[in-house]
A = this chain, B = another copy of it.
């Protein structure tokens, strides 16, 4: 299935667009390929686009004092990623995004998103729902952070994304869970 079809089916779950409408919407997306390790957004830079992942896996992360890294999101196929704070407010990026694996994405500029949202009501509807899902996921993760200990969060993560365990290095999983790599290592070796 090609990028266009993947995006089409993704949007169709939330908004009913005619083929002509979708073609018009799609014309605002720019396909792009990245190699493993390539940087998509780096802290301090200007942010113009958001990214729809077609294949591969990105990570969005924050680096504190150039020492500790915290992963905000692993972006898998059909996920969207960007520094939305910087994108919406037209400020410098405060987070980084790069590629854990080779990846194909579809790029949509902030201006084009606002343009197609204002031109087509169903597109605005789609983006409202997409944002809403992101909000709910973020709330859930926050709650999990407060409520669960590290082991529970680790198991929750693997239950949610079984692929992740083999796909990404363990120190990145630790950075997502917000614990040191040593603690994570001890956690799943002291099994049970």
* Residues of chain A at the chain B interface (Cβ within 8 Å): 62, 64, 68, 70, 72, 84-85, 88, 117-118, 121, 124-125, 127-128, 131-132, 134-136, 138-143, 145-147, 178
Contact = CB atoms under 8 A, between A and B. Distances in A.
Contact of A140 (B68, B85, B118): B85
User: How many copies of the shown chain assemble into the complex?
Assistant: 2
Contacts of A132: 84, 88, 131
Given A72-B142, A142-B142, A125 B125 contact: no
Contact of A124 (B68, B124, B143, B145): B124
Given A70-B143, A145-B178, 20 more contacts: A62-B147, A68-B147, A72-B142, A72-B143, A84-B135, A84-B136, A84-B139, A85-B136, A85-B139, A117-B128, A118-B125, A121-B121, A121-B124, A124-B124, A124-B125, A131-B131, A138-B142, A141-B142, A142-B145, A145-B145
A74 to B, nearest CB: 14
B85 A146 contact: no
7 residue pairs, one from A and one from B, having the closest CB atoms: A128-B128, A138-B138, A135-B135, A146-B178, A70-B146, A121-B121, A131-B131
A110 to B, nearest CB: 12
Nearest to A128: B128
A118 B124 CA distance: 10
A132 B89 CA distance: 12
Contacts of A146: 70, 145, 178
Nearest to A60: B139
